[in-house]
Amino acid sequence: MKFGVGQPVTRLEDPRLLRGEGCFLDDITLPDQAYGWIVRSPYAHARIITIDDSEARALPGVLAVLTGVQAAADGLGGIVSITPQVNRDGSPAHITERPVLVAEVVRCIGDPVALVVAESQAQARDAAELVAVDYDPLPACIGPEAALEPDAPQVWPEVAGNLGLDYEDGDAAAVDAAFAAAHNICRLRLENQRITGCPLENRGTIGNYDAADGRYTLHLSGQDVMGTRSALASQVLRIDPGQLRVITPDVGGGFGTKGYLYPEYGLVCWAAKKVGRPVKWVAGRDEAFISDAHARALVSDVSLALDAEGRFLAVRLETVADLGAYVSAFALHVAAVGSARTMSGPYHVPALHVRVRGVFTHTSWVDAFRGAGQPEGAYLMNRIIDAAARQMNLGREEIRRRNLVPPSAMPYTNPLGHHYDSGNFPATFERALEMADSAGFEDRRRHSEERGLLRGIGLSAFVEVTSEGPPEWAAIEFLSGRRVRLKLGSQDQGQGHRTTMLQLLSERLGLGPEDVDFVQGDSDVLSAGSGTWGSKTSMLAGTAIAEASDRVIARARPLAADELEVADADVVFEEGRFRVQGTDLELGLMDLAAGLDDPAALDDSALSTSAVGTYPNGSHVCEVEIDPETGFVAIVGYSVVGDFGTVLNPRLVAGQIHGGVGQGIGQALLEDMRYDADGQVITGSFVDYALPRADDVPSYALDFKPTPCTTNALGIKGVGEAGTIGALAAVINAVDHALEPLGVNDLQMPATPHRIWQAIQRAGGGDAPARS
């Protein structure tokens, strides 16, 4: 099999990982390393009266107990959002600063108030339990809608009514006119419950400080070494970025959760300087539940206006988004822009208006997680379409057919100004229905009913937009011994970058994977880079590699011409070799490099050439069976058809889709990050927070209907988040369809067995089939 673009080669990363030879953050132990343990607030809202650390300091092995007062005295800064937004009245949205250690008022469970550093993790933990913090508990504000109540406790005294963001987009007048003229109007109130990322490997970090050269080194399980270096240096340590090196080893999953700056990263660097030794901190799973950024956490009122034929006229969306207690890196962008930007998806919606109010609550901060608002938008659109189909007595397939943007309309501008450059939405939709055998559904439903089960089929069609930047960087370096080094600014967290990027390099330069060393995750080695998030790596890193490859060829061509004793114009480059046209003379690129006094003469680098986002799209069809006696949902069929543009590796794309669908199933049916009225986390372990297991995630059918993207040289659209974006509505629409004969069609996520059983009981059991 050729090792190149489009080939389903197996991952190059896996043999090393399967042999246990991976190196993750917790595998790293530096010489003379100490350990940190964080004392966290047990209250959602409280004033710190005193901190008594005398008993902790007296324990054997304790090197330091650090507090917020000391952090402020040493000049440490706080963490602020990097994506400001403008309110609808033109004022800036509120951006609050999160201290790395709280000195005065804690604002959520898990807020860090002290750091204990000791010779061992056990000693640090024991000492942390002896740090006596005297709190004055204060009323807590929990839940996005509760935050807007007139008598709600205030999270920040300077933010009136807890309203941190009041954003709008779209044409309100056009939407009002369309609703006034509409034949039918459908309305739904839908929740996107709070969830958390739960990567297999918890967050962790090691800080070190070299007094001799005044430089910090941070080892980090993260998604973006260059972005972390910039934010940590400027916001917290307040140093020149050149004084900080960030190194990321193998990463066991990120999904966005590891893509932002957290207090712990500054704490270990500061602590290392204070004690003169490296300091390591790794979150326990219970700690991760209260310290990781959460996601989703919004309530939306969505309305759809239609004409008499079921064609869409306008959409109105009003959302209250929970920001948590602090504004995380991308939180304002996700809340304001994330859900709405491609909410209309592949459907022609002439007018759309959205208003988003982002509110502060006494809970963990909320940020981007696989899809960054777009799963929410696709969920809202496809749920309201199903509701409108019921209301108008139209088939759910037919109403979509009437409103899908045809390929003849490309390029197409959606109601919020996003320009879809390519796509064939009807073909993708019809292929998904064909793969799912939607025509045979009623026969399968009758068979389920004979066994006393309910059966439903759910549809979801979506368009997403990938991140358009910042630019990505790639460098190709020729080494002695006939080897090449590929440096990349993106960061693999399990996606298989080494495999796909070397496939692209092989396609461009004819190099075998065995000839190339793949380098990532070290800010001292990279010149630039934007990390991995937003489904952008194949597009941005790919175009950077393509451009760098073209520059290498341009450098090498005259040297090859000299070796072959011909004019430059007579030399062509094909499959890794320079050939003289019309002759059998040729010279391999690696042979040329090996013959040079300095093979580095061929080195070159590039930044990505793409400057706009791309628009992956697809259709999902989910089929479920429900046991009405228990409410248990079994997914018995799942089909996905996607348009991801040029596919570098179909096998890895399939893996991305399967994982994304699995996370969508998790939110749709199982996951729920819940607080009680006092702000205590009540789903803070895997005993209570249910992740999908192997038997919850089905085998699925996958097909591609690619239309190459026209806005980047490779035609790539991206795939990392598409599985999740399409899954939420497909699963819940299937559950709704199954319960429809019983009069249940208003379920919220997660559709747990208990919630479904309760809904069936409230409906009086309806026409639930009897067991045969």
SS3 per-residue string spanning 194-234: EEECCCCCCCEEEEEEECCCCEEEEEECCCCHHHHHHHHHH
Q: Judge if 363 and 259 occupy the same domain.
A: no
Q: Judge if 107 and 219 occupy the same domain.
A: yes
Q: Judge if 263 and 396 occupy the same domain.
A: no
Q: Judge if 238 and 320 occupy the same domain.
A: no
Using CA of residue 432, residue 437, residue 440, residue 445, what is the dihedral sign?
A: negative
Residue 10 lies in a domain: no
Report the pLDDT value the prediction gives residue 533, as an integer from 0 to 100. Answer: 83
SS3 call for 758: helix
- Backbone φ and ψ for 517, nearest 5 degrees, come out as -95, 130
Longest dimension (CA), the chain: 89
36, containing H or E segment: strand 34-40
Q: Judge if 98 and 113 occupy the same domain.
A: yes
User: Where does a domain end: 374, 405, 436?
Assistant: 405
The tally of CA atoms less than 13 A away on the side-chain side of residue 765 is 4
Using CA of residue 760, residue 764, residue 767, residue 772, what is the dihedral sign?
A: positive
Amino acid identity of 412?
Y
How is 5-35 classified by DSSP, letter by letter? Answer: TT--PPPTTHHHHHTT---BGGG---TT-EE
Q: How far apart are CA 745 and CA 760, in angstroms?
A: 10
Token representation of residue 626: 């429900």
Residue 21 lies in a domain: no
Under 8 Å between Cβ of 747 and 680: no
Residue 642 lies in a domain: no
Query: Domain span at residue 169?
Result: 140-193+293-405
Under 8 Å between Cβ of 152 and 359: no
User: Where does a domain end: 405, 435, 454?
Assistant: 405
Residue 675 lies in a domain: no
Report the pLDDT value the prediction gives residue 607, as an integer from 0 to 100. Answer: 92
SS3 call for 475: strand
Under 8 Å between Cβ of 690 and 632: no
Q: Judge if 339 and 382 occupy the same domain.
A: yes
Three-point CA angle 86, 304, 317, nearest 5°: 20
Residues of the chain predicted below pLDDT 70: 1, 610, 766-767, 770-772
CATH number at residue 51: 3.90.1170.50
Instruction: Find the Cα–Cα–Cα–Cα dihedral 87, 92, 98, 104, rounded to 10°.
Output: -100
Q: Judge if 128 and 162 occupy the same domain.
A: no
- Backbone φ and ψ for 91, nearest 5 degrees, come out as -80, 155
CATH number at residue 389: 3.30.365.10
Q: Judge if 171 and 207 occupy the same domain.
A: no
Q: Which residues of 558-576 are buried (b: 16+ CB within 10 A; e: fewer)?
A: ebbbebbebeeeebebeeb
Domain count, the chain: 3
Q: Judge if 506 and 583 occupy the same domain.
A: yes
Residue 269 lies in a domain: yes
Residue 324 lies in a domain: yes
Q: How far apart are CA 712 and CA 709, in angstroms?
A: 7
Quote the pTM value.
0.96
- Backbone φ and ψ for 137, nearest 5 degrees, come out as -60, 145
How is 131-195 classified by DSSP, letter by letter? Answer: -EEEEEE-----STTGGGSTTPPPSSTTSGGGEEEEEEEE-HHHHHHHHHH-SEEEEEEEEEEEE
Q: Judge if 244 and 128 occupy the same domain.
A: yes
Residue 426 lies in a domain: no
Smallest CA-to-CA distance from 646 within 618, 616, 613, 607 is with 616
Token representation of residue 63: 């090197």
Residue 719 lies in a domain: no
Instruction: Find the Cα–Cα–Cα–Cα dihedral 563, 566, 570, 576, rounded to 10°.
Output: -10
Token representation of residue 201: 């490997």
Report the pLDDT value the prediction gives residue 468, as an integer from 0 to 100. Answer: 78
Q: Judge if 43 and 109 occupy the same domain.
A: yes
Instruction: Find the Cα–Cα–Cα–Cα dihedral 37, 42, 47, 50, rounded to 10°.
Output: -50
Smallest CA-to-CA distance from 107 within 174, 164, 167 is with 164
How is 689-714 classified by DSSP, letter by letter? Answer: SPPP-GGGS---EEEE-----SSSTT
Q: Judge if 48 and 77 occupy the same domain.
A: yes
User: Where does a domain end: 607, 627, 657?
Assistant: 607
Is 89 exposed, middle or buried, given 0-12, 13-18 or 19+ CB atoms closer than 10 A? exposed
Smallest CA-to-CA distance from 749 within 339, 190, 321 is with 190
**DSSP code at position 568:** G
Amino acid identity of 735?
V
Report the pLDDT value the prediction gives residue 464, as an integer from 0 to 100. Answer: 96
Residues in the chain, how many?
Answer: 772
